[in-house]
Amino acid sequence: MTRVAWLLNHTTLRDVELPVLRGLGLEVYTSKLLPEPLTHDFRNQSTDYGDDQHSTLPPAVLERLNRFRFYEEPITSEIAALLNDHFEVIICSQYPPLLRKIIHHYRGKIVLRAFGFLGNLSYGEYYARRENRDVLEGIHRAGDRFWFAPFYRSVAAHESDIFAERAIMLPIGLPERILRLQGTWKGDNPRTLFICPSIRTDPYYHGPQYATFKASLGSIPHVIVGRQEVPVDDPSVVGFVTNERYQGYLQTMRVLFYPGQEPRHIQYHPIEAALIGMPVVYLRGGLVHELAGGGTPVGSAGSYAEAKEQIERIMVGDADFITQVCRSQQTIPRTFMPDYVRGEWERLFIPAVLDMALIHTPANSSWPTNSVGTPSSSLTIKLRRFPLTRKALNLFSDLWWLSSRYVRAAVKQRRLRPNRTGIGLVFRHSRLGRWLP
């Protein structure tokens, strides 16, 4: 069975993406340890040891990987060997300390899952920054072993260079706990729901959003949900809530307000609310606006003043207006539905990333034994049975890469002898560093 290492730890993404991978007949390993202490960058992260029940890894290998801190510890030769010997694909996040280690030590297929940045920042620009430049160089060296896998088409359309050339759009779905609630909105709680975590610890995004919301819409009864690392002196801020309580809010509160205007990033709650049937009032210009079809549909607003007018109409129970809003946003969750998501993964991930043919499995099969056929031309999978041959070929590949880099550097510098600042750096920062003790 083809084995994938899924190194993301995003709670909702794990709930929706692991069933898709397993439904395609792949075995999935998930990392277990998060950074300590947790920062607001990891507020949506968690781990689940229940994933291990499906593992066919040798117990000693599984136990060693579970004890390894992928976000914090340097990858040793032992961990690198375990990853290279037991996994055909690694799917990881954009977090540079993690991606840096995977790029430099792993020789199989690497899939970068891209949530999309806020503002106009592209991934090419992000990894071209001085502190991330070695990651970008590693991505270029990986070549056709690297795949850039954004959730939304607008992310890939904003890229250039290798991130555009190696882009493969793999959608995400909605969790089963939300799908079960489709069309169950009642709206009998006359308050506005606003999701805003990390108010005191995120001064660049959520902090300003909170301040603007309170100044523009604070007179309307509301509840603010989201994990707060530092308590907020505001009775309307309820902080972290359980899934059950959050789902209850989506079913009972009168309206959801979503201010995000990022064209390549969206949070889950407006999609979940639209599926459940809850009216969403949002600011135009962002990805949620694109998913709704663009234009100026009811529920979309060009300003906070316009948003306030629409929210107030919903709060007083204007039934015709509420119906129009809900009807206008029926397209928002369309590309997050299970059939669409699975179809795109079947069409793109299996033939492109794995270079394999898919044998369809029953739609209700939660853990198929093996639905993937024989590899058509996957050298990595074939060489897994011959580790010495694979290592020899990897060494030859690294030597070839180093010699080509050395010749280019020598021509550029007009000297053949290595030095501390020029050609010598080629070796010290090359892939051959992993062959050293």
Give the model confidence (pLDDT) of 19-36 as tens digits: 999 999 999 999 998 877
Q: Which residues of the chain have pLDDT under 50?
A: 358-385, 390, 420-437
416 within some domain: yes
Helix (H), strand (E) counts: the chain:
19, 11
What was the pLDDT predicted at 366?
Answer: 36
Looking at the fold, whether 365 and 430 belong to one and the same domain comes out as no
DSSP strand pairing (89-92 vs 27-30): unpaired
Q: Which residues of 151-181 are buried (b: 16+ CB within 10 A; e: fewer)?
A: bbebbbebbeebbeebbebbbbbbbeebbeb
- Residue 302 burial (C-beta neighbours within 10 Å; 0-12, 13-18, 19+): exposed
pLDDT digits (tens, 9 = 90+) for 182-232: 999 999 999 999 999 999 999 989 999 999 999 999 999 999 999 999 999
Task: State residue 389's pLDDT score.
Answer: 57
Residue 226 and residue 328 share a domain: yes
Query: Is there a domain that residue 390 lies in?
Result: no
- The residue out of 319, 335, 351 marking a domain boundary is 335
200 plus 251 within the same structural domain: yes
Are 211 and 272 members of one domain?
yes
pLDDT for the residue numbered 433: 43
User: CA triplet 252, 257, 261: central angle to 5 degrees?
Assistant: 150
Cis link prior to 387 (omega < 30° from 0)? no
Which CATH number belongs to the domain containing residue 107 in this structure?
A: 3.40.50
Do 303 and 351 have their domain in common? no
Verify that 187 and 258 share a domain, yes or no: yes
Residue 402 is assigned to a structural domain of this protein: yes
- Are 303 and 327 found together in one domain? yes
Both 181 and 326 in one domain: the answer is yes
Q: Three-state SS for 337?
A: coil
Position 195 in a domain: yes
Asked if residue 406 is part of any domain, the answer here is: yes
User: What is the reported pLDDT for 404?
Assistant: 57
Q: Please report, for residues 40, 225, 253, 269, 344, the alpha-carbon distance to residue 245 in angstroms, rounded to integers and kept in the order given.
A: 22, 10, 12, 14, 32
Domain of 253 in residue numbering reads as 176-335
Q: Is 284:265 a contact under the CB 8 Å cutoff?
A: no
Q: 281 and 132, same structural domain?
A: no
Identify whether residues 38 and 161 lie together within a single domain: yes
The per-residue pLDDT for 34 is 81
Asked if 236 and 105 sit in the same domain, the reply is no
* Number of structural domains the chain divides into: 3
Contacts of 422 (CB under 8 A, 6+ apart): 409, 413, 415
155 falls within a domain: yes
Question: Is position 291 within any domain?
Answer: yes
201 and 165 together in one domain: no
Q: What is the pTM of this model?
A: 0.75
